[in-house]
Amino acid sequence: MTSHQGENRVLEMSSTVPKSSNIFWHDCPVGKTDRQNLLKQKGCVVWITGLSGSGKSTLACTLGRELHTRGKLAYVLDGDNLRHGLNKDLGFAAEDRAENIRRVGEVAKLFADAGLVCIASFISPYRRDRESCRALLSDGSFIEVFLNMSLELCEARDPKGLYKLARAGKIKGFTGIDDPYEAPLNCEIEIKEVDGVCPSPSDMAAQVITYLEDKGFLHE
């Protein structure tokens, strides 16, 4: 596939325009506000992005547990987990990465509309794809959390052994090694390493919780 063909496929797969013209949106009497009032919280998407090994899944699960202990309904969408089902037909070429994130963005939007705090944990290396997901939630309920951990730290941690495989040439197109990661320009939350060490999961979750509380997502 040429680069031009690949770009066209990305645009086609990422299009928000339905292929069929004879479909109609059906509104139901119970809306987002009704669901939020029932749950006593506001639906939103917490989108956690960063390099492999930066602590995304750990933060997502810790945040989910903390919200649960507070009586708040949340659901974690994890990159690897979704590739076992919804996205199992996708690889890691640029066009597949774009479609992967497009699907996740649409699912996350549904969870937010249901009134949940949707925690999406994905490398999501391309800025354009993340911004497309942000555009799906135009009411300020998309919260981008950038785990700004250095490549050196992530590679030293290497919890899945993927960096070692990438360095050995056994994995191609690995983010941070031979495929780029485009850091967010205007994320809501940025979490940095401290003296070369990743903050504790509880500290990172507390930072996100504080933001959600301050912005009114955890109460009516």
SS3 call for 49: strand
Task: Report strand pairing: 44-49 vs 142-148.
Answer: parallel
Buried/exposed code over 36-49 (b: 16+ C-beta within 10 A; e: otherwise): beebebbbbbbbbb
Q: In this predicted structure, what is the pLDDT of residue 9?
A: 45
**Residue 20: how many CB atoms within 10 A of its CB?**
5
From CA 171, how far away is CA 85, in angstroms rounded?
22
Q: In this predicted structure, what is the pLDDT of residue 188?
A: 98
What type of residue sits at position 93? Answer: A
To the query of whether residue 124 is one of the catalytic residues in this protein, the response is: yes
Number of alpha helices (DSSP H) and beta strands (DSSP E) in the chain: 9, 5
Spot the catalytic one: 54, 57, 121, 124: 124
Question: Per this entry, what is the length of the chain?
Answer: 220
Q: In this predicted structure, what is the pLDDT of residue 213?
A: 97
What type of residue sits at position 37? Answer: N
Domains annotated on the chain, with CATH: 32-215 (3.40.50.300)
Q: Are 125 and 180 in contact (CB under 8 A)?
A: yes
SS3 call for 137: coil
Measure the CA angle with vertex 108, ends 123 and 38; round to 5°: 140
> Tokens 């990438």 belong to which residue?
166
Ordered per-residue pLDDT tens for the chain, 220 residues: 443 444 444 444 444 556 777 777 778 888 889 999 999 999 999 999 999 999 999 999 999 999 999 999 999 999 889 999 999 999 888 899 899 999 999 999 999 999 999 999 999 999 999 999 999 998 899 999 999 999 999 999 998 999 999 999 998 989 989 889 999 999 999 999 999 999 999 999 999 999 999 999 998 6
